Amino acid sequence: MVKDTQPLAYAANGHSKDFDPTVPPPFKIAEIRAAIPEHCWVKNPWRSLNYVLRDVLVIAALVAAAIHFDNWFLWLLYWPVQGTMFWAIFVLGHDCGHGSFSNSPMLNSLVGHILHSSILVPYHGWRVSHRTHHQNHGHIEKDESWVPLTEKIYKNLDYVTRFARFTVPFPLFVYPIYLFGRSPGKEGSHFNPYSNLFPPNERKGIAISTLCWVIMFSLLIYLSFITSPLLVLKVYGIPYWIFVMWLDFVTYLHHHGHPKKLPWYRGTEWSYLRGGLTTVDRDYGWINNIHHDIGTHVIHHLFPQIPHYNLVQATKAAKAVLGEYYREPERSAPIPFHLIKYLLKSMREDHFVSDTGDIVYYQTDPHLHRD
């Protein structure tokens, strides 16, 4: 085993000071599975559809109110609230992609396409790459979401790219770029059926999702002509970018920004269980219910087939098995402003990992952010 050295100082959240998260856990994934009550695995399509109806009705009501009153004070309230609702329906489409929405692949695909296409996400393209992320979570070379840059890739980036990649707010707007071109060091597009992201048997689905994306984008252009570009920007465009910010913020902090740095793996040291245990639960206060408990992320990563409305209970049941390998999230105020400090700290410190070693930690480029 080749391993970066990191000081062992886990005192927060009930961890002993000498707890080493890189030590293989003394339990197997089957033991975690057995601890979760049977009913947590049951998918109720009517309950899932009820969440869809709830979110769609809220979105429609917000649009109607914003257009009816049409004053700048209300627009300033509308944009963050509607952007958060766009993020909420992304999470429901995310459940469709995992098959946790229902046991019907047809229903999952139909609802997933409607929800994700409406916010300019290519459903099957995203679904397949997200599946790759879950299957390889915590693996330096094979993971797909917010993968660490190796030192060689990092040093080959120009300064402007490095600065933008690790300076808030720029990373919070990268998701559309990622859909078209992925991350540094990786090639492919979520819209191209022949991208190396996808196996041949997924090409038809990718093409259908790309077509749905084009139809939605064309509809927005058409609406801008028959109404006005400014109205489409106010009703849809700005909330879309708020949604993108939520998506990048939440997904980044699920795998980064813990007060004590967590390991990344490669080679024989990686396993599905060890990789999944590097994910981080987050508390989002009032937003927990709005975005369907996506912050309850460790159990979701290990068992993505569990419906979102059972994740909290499943996590409570699994803690007895996970022990110190589970990190309790910091409690949030109604609005999760407390998470901003973890994002900023991670962006200042987590820049690249070593090109070698099977267990590695993020390292810092001292020249990137000079005061």
Specify the pLDDT at position 18: 76
208, 124 contact by CB (below 8 A): yes
54-89 pLDDT, tens digit per residue, is 999 999 999 999 999 999 999 999 999 999 999 999
Average pLDDT, the chain: 94
Closest CA to 183 of 116, 255, 84: 255
Tokens of 182: 């992925």
Residue in 365, 323, 328 with CA at minimum distance from that of residue 348: 365
- The contacts of residue 352 (CB under 8 Å, 6+ apart) are 148, 149, 150, 151, 153, 154, 155, 362, 363, 365
Q: Return the minimum-mean-pLDDT range out of 14-18, 34-38, 45-49, 208-212.
A: 14-18
DSSP run (H or E) holding 264: strand 264-265
Our measurement of the distance from residue 151's CA atom to the centroid of its chain's CA atoms, rounded to an integer in Å, reads 24
The token duo for 324 is: 């110190």
Q: Is the pLDDT of residue 10 over 80?
A: no
Q: What's the pLDDT at 186?
A: 85
Q: What is the pLDDT of residue 7?
A: 43
Mean pLDDT of 107-134: 97
Is residue 185 predicted with pLDDT exceeding 90? no
pLDDT of residue 182: 83
- Each residue's pLDDT tens digit, 255-285: 999 998 899 999 999 999 999 999 999 999 9
The CA distance from 22 to 5, in Å, is: 11
Task: Give yes or no for a contact between 185 and 353, defined as CB atoms under 8 angstroms apart.
Answer: no
> What CA dihedral angle connects 180, 184, 187 and 193, to 10 degrees?
-30
Give the model's pLDDT for residue 4. 61
pLDDT score, position 19? 85
How confident is the model over 77-102, as a mean pLDDT? 98
Average pLDDT over residues 186-199: 93
pTM for this model (two decimals): 0.94
Return the exposure string of 230-255: e unless at least 16 CB atoms fall within 10 Å of the residue's CB, then b.
eebebbbbbbbbbbbbbbbbbbbbbb
